[in-house]
Structure 1
């Protein structure tokens, strides 16, 4: 069985990657693998990675039901780069292995992989085409603060942990600008999807 054409969806934090992926899934029936969702599975209660995190930070990193207190963990790792590197070293290999397994198991000609840190983790070889979802820096910061209920300082820390959006745009095959209405974004997705062509070329 030949591998499917792999469409990599990335971009800045809070730019709308999941919105694009959900639309592709609902409008075109594309199988979607989301690295963020896999990362949450990786740290579910009882997994080896969950246990390693609890061993490192203690019970204070857990909520009353035993699940990880993700906001508290975020405060630690985004304030201390070495801690973020440690956490990513636990999670990324498992997530990458799961994405590779999903590619092998896919029986469709085209699939989408949502990988927020595609460039940062050097996963370009995992995909055939790269779509970057982008917005203005002002919109990005406002959306991030609203979505995750973060202070301006905490939001800026998260933005600083990623490759600048301008660099991601430069490396993209296609840029989708999420600066207006959903209808405008969906129109760009439709155009980009049609330009892939049946064999995935073009665009």
Structure 2
């Protein structure tokens, strides 16, 4: 397998949890019709009921990691991996190869596209920066990030802070970005930033 995807504009979109990456990809897709490849979507496919990866997870953590219908109990898994670096690394070792293969397969189908967005929360952590031609980081005010995560995932403040702390600090991602999008305000403030980034790179 080649170490680089096809030669085209490949935007690596990343940021912190609950900073608004989906808002950015939705706007990009609506405004420019650019294809969006989403690592989170592929990661959900990786742990679909009856998948080998989900079986490995259940074997490691026990049946309580599953709901009655065979679906992954995400909050129970989160309580394990967001408080234990070794378990987080083990889980990523199961899921990342599947996700990478999904990206490669999808990119192979999109060779004629002038641009593709790869939405990858762990772009830096998974060492995938050489896959993309530019890096966009979505950021927001730290207090907003916590509030959004609590509201979106139904977490306590302590749970939200643990999830944020488990990720690479946003400041480190920003330092390596080609584009920084500040999503602290309204969409009306975000959209002009996206337009500038799209036009200038």
Structure 2 runs not aligned, ≥5 long? 1-5
Structure 1 runs not aligned, ≥5 long? 197-203
Note the 1:1-203 alignment, pairs <5 A: 3-106=7-110, 107-196=112-201
* Deviation sequence 1:44-97 (CA, Å, 0-9, x none): 011110111111112111112110111111111111111111111000111012
- 8 Å contact from structure 2 (residues 50, 70) kept in 1: no
What RMSD over aligned residues (CA atoms) do the two structures have, in Å? 1.0
TM-fit CA distance, 1:191: 1.2
Whole-Å Cα distance in 2 between the matches of residues 33 and 127 of structure 1? 12
TM-fit CA distance, 1:154: 0.9
TM-fit CA distance, 1:37: 0.6
- 8 Å contact from structure 1 (residues 11, 133) kept in 2: yes
TM-score (norm 1): 0.93
- 8 Å contact from structure 1 (residues 3, 109) kept in 2: no
4+ runs of 1 displaced by more than 3 Å? Answer: none
Whole-Å Cα distance in 2 between the matches of residues 109 and 193 of structure 1? 12
Whole-Å Cα distance in 1 between the matches of residues 130 and 102 of structure 2? 15
TM-fit CA distance, 1:26: 1.3
In the alignment, what sits opposite 1:199? none
TM-score (norm 2): 0.94
TM-fit CA distance, 1:4: 2.6
